[in-house]
Structure 1
């Protein structure tokens, strides 16, 4: 099979129509040690191309820096064009892999397999916690759970001293002020993932569609993560959902979440999000690591924070030329290295727990 592909590639090169050219040889790049067990086997295509999810863009920027340091002369150009565009560009052969907030759909998977001449794999490489951020004067410690959040974000609970909120925050003084919901007015993977959490964890109190647009029917819209963070900072008694780094920079309170197991409210930090990721179930087969995110949203693991956005790298399991396969493997291996993972919390992401990282490493190593 691989011999036939190489022969076909030679013919295409001769005709001048090869879609992905091997910009370097197997000896390109430094190939030095990078992160011990995750040392990148550098080489292959020098100038990789990818596009897609903007939610993972800052993580990819850090991964590219590590990649360029580990593999001299190699780089990746990543365009944060949005998840849908990223999947379409990958399927159309314009990029070497895609970044996406969602795995390939049932309609997209056969098209991606045709593009790859092999199955395409969904590899969840980047996780970003979603904060429930609030601005309630005098309240610096707030606990909420899925059913209560569902009712807040669809207008079923309208005041901060509602009995449902008070029951979760005994001993705290909550104002009788109206709750002001701020939501993303633009299409957003963060909105979709937050609404998926509400669907899964609210015990039916949030039956609205989990689309990329907010479906709750209450509140005020603001564009982008910075927009909702600013609106909440400037509006007393308001609440929103936003990537954790934006909440931190805006100086907002971040609610502790009681997960589906009940028990103590769980704060948002790398350790508690990592505990939820550790137990997430994989619905894909073999090295296709498509996730069952409901298993994260409804985790009952003690001290596991249940609201996070997972973003995938969508790759060919067997590329049609060796150079692209080796280049993609080198980049992803570097992204999984300790050095690359260590910088993620500064950008609002969560380093992968070891057991989950090993599963990804096995899948990356299997790319051909």
Structure 2
């Protein structure tokens, strides 16, 4: 219960009233022993927050997570390293086959982490920037090379844009953030983005950095730079971010609430894979969204891994995710994920 000043407490007692109690904390199913995972760097902040909270509640548990990137994490899991892997994109056919061989049975996708992918930028004299999908595609494919290019000026008719050269920063390692960002470009920009999608960066030019933390650090130190990172990284580095929209619709800044609208508008498969829509159907939804998964074996998953992931999927774990700068899962999706975790054996 919150502390109540003595005088106020006396007045309440005289009036026959009592202060409303705070909601009881959600109970945590405490496991014991050790468990470890690896993978997505975009998940690192929320995994650290979950691990800290869980281990405070459950001191007999020891949990570790290595931020190696989605591709490396999935390969390590398939090779038998660790109890779970974090990935910002569902497994492809080859990755699923390898994971199923490791699991000796079905592999499960658990969408636990969600949030916007922000386009963080650093352009002296510019603190607000609006871009359409086609302009974003032209910037990251190298067709637009200076910040006062007519395409950018058209998206920002009242902005004073400098002639500063554009420096694009992309991931150099296999990355689910790259996969999600290029999926968006391929769907929303059409033929303006001829480089397809995938976890490896395929467009020419730009500067590659390994891990989200290095991408955002490169943007922060380079005038004229722009890069794509999970939204909380831009927030921590206090970098401005692009508002995204099309010529006829609203331009929307990345936020957890705007990302939540896009997730709520997505199609959820029976296997809990999320198929995002990139056509701006949901008003004021931010369209560049990352849904990040934990990959586990349906059978043979250690009890501590299951208990920890059940905590993360619970309402308490999702509140921790929000406090760490991520979007909480919509309740309908969260309950399905929680049920899938509890079904692991």
TM range, normalised to the smaller chain?
Answer: 0.7 to 0.9
Aligned to 1:317: 298
Deviations 1:210-265 (A, max 9, x none): 34443222334445434433433343333222232332343322111116x94111
Unaligned runs of 5+ in 1: 1-32
* Cα displacement (A) at 1:281: 1.8
Identify the residue that residue 30 of structure 2 maps to in structure 1: 42
Query: Contact 1:142–1:256 (CA<8 Å) still a contact in 2?
Result: yes
**1:1-368 to 2 correspondences below 5 Å:** 35-36=25-26, 39-43=27-31, 46-258=33-245, 262-283=248-269, 285=270, 288-292=271-275, 295-319=276-300, 324=302, 326-345=303-322, 347-368=324-345
Q: 1:181 to 1:361 in 2, by over 3 A?
A: same
- How many residue pairs were aligned? 323
For residue 304 of structure 1, report the CA deviation from its aligned partner: 0.9
Q: CA RMSD in A?
A: 2.8
Whole-Å separation in 2 of the counterparts to 1:226 and 1:316: 29
Q: 1:333 to 1:231 in 2, by over 3 A?
A: closer
1:155 Cα deviation from its structure 2 partner: 1.9
Q: Secondary structure at the match of 1:204?
A: helix
Conserved in 1, the CA contact under 8 Å of 2:130 and 2:244? yes
Give the 3 Å change call, closer, same or farther, for CA 191–108 of structure 1 in structure 2: closer
CA distance in 2, matches of 1:126, 1:367: 19
Q: CA deviation at 1:34?
A: 8.3
How far apart, CA to CA, are the structure 2 residues paired with 1:297 and 1:113? 31
TM-score norm. by structure 1 comes to 0.77
The structure-2 alpha-carbon separation of the partners of 1:48 and 1:200, relative to structure 1 and needing over 3 Å to count, comes to: same
- State the shift of 1:301 in Å: 0.9
Equivalence for 2:10: none
| Partner Cα separation in structure 2 for residue 104 and residue 267 of structure 1 | 29
Alpha-carbon separation, structure 2, partners of 1:179 and 1:84: 28
| Aligned mates of 1:219, 1:91 — CA distance in 2 | 32
1:126, 1:72 → 2: CA distance?
Answer: 24
C-alpha distance 111-241 of structure 1, shift in aligned 2 (>3 A): closer
Structure 2 length as normaliser, TM-score? 0.81
